[in-house]
Amino acid sequence: MEFEVGDEVVYPHHGAGRVIKKEMKEVFGESREYLMIKILHNDMTVRVPCQNAGMAGLRRVIGEEAVARVLSVLRDDVSQMPKNWNRRFKHNRDKIKTGDVFELAEVVRNLAIREADKGLSTGEKQMYTRAKKILASELMYAIEMEEDDAEAHLENLIEEAHSGRAAAAESAAAAV
């Protein structure tokens, strides 16, 4: 996949950003072309070798259709996760590492539900915060919002989805 200056991209470990420069750099005596990517939500700059961009998981920001699917994933019920926190942490970390926005949305949803129902360990809280930041950074570009607005929008979506679930659980319990 070819990337150009100005492209909005997602680097799986850091979130969404914009390609601000392409430059030749000499590393270990070998000249290579690098993409310089400005990650806005944490004010970081990342250099990725052009030839390894795909292997590093670099991809373009999702479009309108994918945004609708992400929102649908956030509204779904929790998926099966390991009960042991250690396995659950690794399971979620591996999903985040894929760079797949739908896997990331699933992690955000599952951790949001778990936090509301049972609470999260310290490591899971940090993972949840980071995963929300990465997802919000991509939504920021995908639906053209400011960073704070995208984060608030994501929080509201999670809250709406969970409050509906909690109400449904309460009425099901009352019916029994």
The per-residue pLDDT for range 50-109, each reduced to its tens digit, is: 998 988 889 999 998 999 999 999 988 877 878 888 899 999 999 998 889 999 999 999
pLDDT reading at 111 higher than 60: yes
Q: CATH number of 64-175: 3.30.1490.190, 3.90.420.10, 1.20.58.1290, 1.10.340.30?
A: 1.20.58.1290
First to last CA, the chain: 55
Q: How far is Cα 158 from Cα 29, in angstroms, rounded to an integer?
A: 49
Say whether pLDDT at 166 is over 60.
Answer: no
Tokens representing residue 90 in the block: 């690794």
The domain 8-60: what is its CATH number? 2.40.10.170
Q: How would you class 1 by CB atoms within 10 Å of its CB: exposed for 0-12, middle for 13-18, buried for 19 or more?
A: exposed
The pTM (predicted TM-score) of the whole model is: 0.85
Determine what percent of the chain is predicted with pLDDT higher than 70: 93
